[in-house]
């Protein structure tokens, strides 16, 4: 029964690894060519919508939350698994993000966590939803173009090195909006919360099959 758990564990780890890589889709900037996009200042951080990365993070959150279904199938202990999930804030936030992806209702509802989590960043303590922040400090001169209709973007850089990025999990608080930190790291840390329960249930994956 652990084979399905091992397969899903590998899938989640692959998703996490892919999201941990810098942006590598860019073109080399020709300094003599006419500008094709917005010229971004040297050494800056730049926030913009990235539908692909946002979708991938929400998909990861879905996988982490629905991992409980594999544990229920393998152990037959639905109540214990459901009670454990309900006791872990990280998993509840993953549930809310998964439902946002599936139903797009989190802007109106607080969800299981009660925090109405959404992806975005805080800029001067003000929320910017559905964007990522790219770190362009190592890319020299940068131009950027964004197509609002297709939600696609293009980078031109004078130094072709990977572009690190982040987006946070923003949550509702009594006074304004707060952050739970880097979304990719947070969701994967929530996945690791399942490890303790898997050992207790006797369904932990064999290390040689997931490492």
Q: In the predicted model, is pLDDT for residue 149 greater than 60?
A: yes
Helices (H), 76-173: 78-86, 89-103
Round to whole Å and give the CA distance between 147 and 37. Answer: 11
Say which residue, 175 or 54, is predicted with more confidence. 54
Structural domain for 164, as ranges = 2-210
Q: State which H helix or E strand residue 119 sits in.
A: strand 118-123
Q: How far is CA 60 from CA 19, 26, 27, 28, 57, in A?
A: 9, 25, 28, 31, 5
Question: Hey, what's the torsion of the CAs at 134, 135, 141, 143, to 10 degrees?
Answer: 0
Q: Which pLDDT tens digit goes with each residue over 165-190?
A: 999 999 998 888 999 999 999 999 99
Round to whole Å and give the CA distance between 165 and 120. Answer: 12
- pTM score: 0.92
For residue 108, the model assigns a pLDDT of: 47
Q: Chain-wide mean pLDDT for the chain?
A: 90
The tally of domains found in the chain comes to 1
User: Which of the residue ranges 28-42, 49-63, 128-142, 194-208 would you say has the lowest mean pLDDT?
Assistant: 28-42
Q: Which pLDDT tens digit goes with each residue over 62-97?
A: 999 999 999 999 999 999 999 999 999 999 999 999
Q: Which pLDDT tens digit goes with each residue over 113-126?
A: 999 999 999 998 89
């Amino acid at each position: 029964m652990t084979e399905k758990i091992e397969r899903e564990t590998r899938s989640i780890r692959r998703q996490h690894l892919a999201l941990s890589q810098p942006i590598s889709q860019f073109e080399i900037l020709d300094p003599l060519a006419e500008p094709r996009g917005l010229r971004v200042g040297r050494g800056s951080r730049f926030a913009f919508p990235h539908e692909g990365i946002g979708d991938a993070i929400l998909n990861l959150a879905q996988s982490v939350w629905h991992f409980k279904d594999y544990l229920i199938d393998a152990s037959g202990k639905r109540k214990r698994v459901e009670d454990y999930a309900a006791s872990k804030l990280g998993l509840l936030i993953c549930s809310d993000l998964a439902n946002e992806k599936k139903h797009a209702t989190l802007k109106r509802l607080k969800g299981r966590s009660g925090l109405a989590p959404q992806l975005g960043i805080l800029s001067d303590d003000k929320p910017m939803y559905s964007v990522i922040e790219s770190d362009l400090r190592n890319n020299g001169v940068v131009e950027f173009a964004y197509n609002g209709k297709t939600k696609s973007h293009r980078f031109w850089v004078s130094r072709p090195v990977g572009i690190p990025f982040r987006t946070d999990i923003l949550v509702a608080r009594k006074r304004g909006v707060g952050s739970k930190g880097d979304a990719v790291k947070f969701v994967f840390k929530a996945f690791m919360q399942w490890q303790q329960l898997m050992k207790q249930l006797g369904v932990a994956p064999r290390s040689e099959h997931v490492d």
